[in-house]
């Protein structure tokens, strides 16, 4: 049976995959494409996570697409609103007609002879094996394992009589109203869950081993709403988007260049929220510098409000063991709980665990270098979307999709079928793929590709630099090898 063939296969129908579909049909309209989605619905992260209060941890004027304005009043949006935005985008642009659900991509094999990928897919609940072929494979499957979250081994967890829940797999029927809740963790998920659960729980404790930098920000962007009332939607959106990009870049650079000043600024905000008597040093002052790990955003200071009301509290300590009725801490203190939420993080996973072979050779992608943050040395015609760690995911995903279209158009123009990044600089030194000290990154960093010490192998985490490189920079450089011309059609003899 002949394989169904597409010029481009996109893997994942989340925020990156839907954006990829738009770019392909707009900027490379003569290329056929399909989006393979392992789950039964689109949305990715915004459909998977269903825990109370799920929301963006960055503003929607930058998390939204460059081509579709965010028109809601709230800049810090809840999960259902974001999912609705993605569904509308896919429907309005006809992208949803290209999505094939319950298609779990497992393996991809490249053949130089045919200049194609053969992709093995498990389809449906029966996991029926089907195959597709494509000229270019674009992985938009995110960076973490959808099937498994990260939970440390807690001594005595089997003794606990209440419910233990991981936010990635939130039970629909969990009733925590009037109950004592302990949320283990201090990252974005924890600071979202605590104030939301505190609305109906008897009390919620955020139990952390060490603090995280927490910044309060208005839920609505007054300037954006003012502009939207007075200007065309795309113009107002564009101005707000660049305002937020530039402010974010300014603050990140200040954190890196003047960390003491940035720390003082953040902690001053916390003290203003919680008052002079609160122990900010213990509970909200990390040992690392701002942006060595991602900052946590709380809209309208909701976490601080819950603490001030007495509905929530923060405990900074280490867990000794779970007990039948809660958690015993290393300090000897015990926390009573009816529900324990392990907001202990994600398990990172490169390309959804895809097995990649090139001309019969199994590729270990952890040994490769990342080219422009999206392709892999010695792996032809494969790219992946990965957002910024210091800004909104979609900013980089949009640029990646736009660059991919430029690359495809260049290959069509030159008649070459294969684009392969090659490390040609013997002096290139390797660095970790992500310069982040967060536990979820450090646990998995060895499984990811390396970055180099200079372009095009260096990840700058800088939107302005990436615009110059990916949107306007030359497609041809010393690190990208174009090859494999299309075979000529045989000449037909005149009769």
Neighbours of 317 (CB within 10 A): 16
Reply yes or no on whether the pLDDT at 408 is more than 50. yes
Tokens of 205: 């404790």
Position 12 confidence tier, pLDDT thresholds 50, 70, 90:
very high
Q: Per DSSP, which regions of 349-495 are E strands?
A: 355-358, 361-362, 370-371, 375-376, 382-384, 416-421, 430-431, 451-452, 480-485
The three-class DSSP label of residue 59 is coil
**pLDDT tens profile 329-388:** 999 999 999 999 999 988 888 999 999 999 999 999 999 999 999 999 999 999 999 988
Residue 192: both structure tokens together: 């979202």
Inform me whether the pLDDT recorded for 34 exceeds 70.
Answer: yes
Examine the pLDDT at 494 and tell me if it is beyond 60. Answer: no
Q: What is the mean pLDDT of residues 129-141?
A: 97
Q: What is the mean pLDDT of residues 114-131?
A: 96
Kindly give, in sequence order, each residue whose CB lies less than 8 Å from that of residue 221, ignoring residues fewer than 6 positions away. 59, 61, 75, 240, 244
- Confidence (pLDDT) at 285: 96
Q: Determine the average pLDDT of the residues in 81-102.
A: 98
Q: Return d(Cα 416, Cα 65) in angstroms, integer.
A: 31
Tell me the β-bridge partners of 356: 108
> pLDDT for 157-215, tens place per residue?
999 999 999 999 999 999 999 999 999 999 999 999 999 999 999 999 999 999 999 99
Residue 486: what pLDDT?
A: 83
pLDDT at 493: 56
Nearest by Cα to 384 from 416, 345, 356, 412? 356
Determine the Cα–Cα distance for residues 199 and 38; give it in Å rounded to an integer. Answer: 35
Average pLDDT over residues 248-273: 94
Highest mean pLDDT among 22-31, 293-302, 390-399, 434-443: 22-31
Quick check: 492 pLDDT over 60? no
Q: Which residue has the tokens 């960093």?
A: 445
Sign of CA dihedral 349, 355, 359, 363: positive
Q: What is the pLDDT of residue 2?
A: 65
Joined together, the tokens standing for residue 4 give 């169904």
Highest averaged pLDDT of the listed ranges 250-259, 412-421, 485-494: 412-421
Q: What is the DSSP letter of 91?
A: H
Tokens of 403: 């660059």
Give the integer Cα–Cα distance in Å for 198 and 309: 10
DSSP-assigned states of every residue in 156-219: TGGG--SEEE-GGG--TT---TTSEEEEE--SHHHHHHHHHHTTTSSEEEEEESS---EEEE-S
pTM score: 0.93
In the prediction, which pLDDT does 491 show? Answer: 53
Output the pLDDT for position 448: 87
Supply the pLDDT for residue 495.
47
Rounded Cα gap, residues 285 and 296, in angstroms: 13
Q: How confident is the model at residue 440 (pLDDT cuts 50, 70, 90)?
A: low
Among 261, 256, 264, smallest CA distance to 285 is for 264
CA 362 to centroid of chain Cα atoms? 27
**Strand stretches in 185-324, DSSP E:** 203-208, 214-217, 296-299, 312-316, 319-322
| Per-residue pLDDT at 67 exceeds 80 | yes
Q: Between β-strands 480-485 and 416-421, what pairing exists: parallel, antiparallel or unpaired? A: antiparallel
């Amino acid at each position: 049976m002949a394989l169904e063939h597409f010029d481009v296969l996109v893997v994942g129908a989340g925020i990156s995959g839907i954006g990829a579909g738009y770019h392909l049909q707009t900027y490379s309209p003569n290329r056929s494409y399909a989006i393979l989605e392992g789950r039964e619905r689109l949305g990715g992260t915004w459909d998977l996570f269903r825990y109370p209060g799920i929301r963006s941890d960055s503003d929607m004027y930058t998390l939204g697409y460059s081509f579709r304005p965010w028109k809601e009043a709230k800049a810090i949006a809840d999960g259902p609103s974001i999912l609705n935005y993605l569904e509308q985008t896919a429907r309005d642009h006809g992208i949803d007609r290209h999505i094939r659900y319950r298609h779990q991509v497992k393996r991809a094999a490249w053949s130089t002879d045919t200049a194609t990928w053969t992709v093995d897919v498990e389809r449906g609940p029966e996991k029926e094996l089907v195959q597709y072929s494509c000229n270019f494979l674009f992985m938009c499957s995110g960076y973490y394992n959808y099937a498994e979250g990260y939970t440390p081994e807690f001594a005595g967890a089997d003794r606990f009589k209440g419910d233990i829940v991981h936010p990635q797999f939130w039970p629909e029927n969990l009733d925590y109203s009037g109950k004592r809740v302990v949320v283990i963790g201090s990252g974005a998920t924890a600071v979202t869950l605590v104030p939301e659960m505190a609305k109906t729980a008897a009390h919620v404790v955020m139990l952390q081993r060490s603090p995280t930098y927490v910044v309060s920000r208005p839920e609505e962007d007054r300037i954006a709403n003012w502009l939207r009332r007075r200007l065309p939607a795309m113009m107002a959106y564009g101005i707000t988007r660049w305002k937020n990009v530039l402010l974010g870049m300014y603050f990140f650079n200040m954190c890196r260049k003047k960390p003491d000043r940035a720390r003082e600024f953040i902690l001053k905000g916390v003290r203003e929220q919680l008052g002079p008597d609160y122990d900010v040093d213990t509970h909200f002052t990390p040992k690392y510098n701002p942006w060595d790990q991602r900052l946590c955003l709380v809209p309208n200071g909701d976490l601080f409000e819950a603490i001030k009301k007495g509905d929530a509290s923060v405990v900074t300590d280490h867990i000794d063991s779970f007990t039948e009725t809660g958690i015993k801490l290393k300090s000897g203190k015990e926390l009573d709980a009816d529900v324990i939420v392990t907001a202990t993080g994600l398990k990172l996973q490169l390309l959804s665990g895809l097995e990649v072979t090139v001309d019969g050779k199994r590729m270990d992608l952890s040994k490769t270098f990342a080219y422009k943050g999206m392709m892999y040395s010695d792996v032809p015609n494969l790219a992946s979307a990965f957002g910024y760690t210091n800004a909104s995911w979609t900013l980089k995903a949009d640029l990646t999709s736009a660059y991919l279209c430029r690359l495809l158009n260049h290959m069509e123009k030159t008649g070459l079928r294969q684009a392969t990044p090659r490390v040609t600089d013997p002096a290139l030194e390797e660095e970790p793929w992500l310069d982040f000290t967060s536990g979820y990154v450090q646990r998995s960093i060895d499984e990811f590709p390396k970055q180099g010490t200079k372009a095009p192998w260096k990840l700058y985490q800088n939107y302005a630099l990436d615009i110059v490189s990916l949107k306007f920079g030359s497609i041809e450089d010393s690190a990208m090898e174009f090859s494999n011309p299309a075979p000529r059609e045989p000449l037909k003899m005149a009769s």
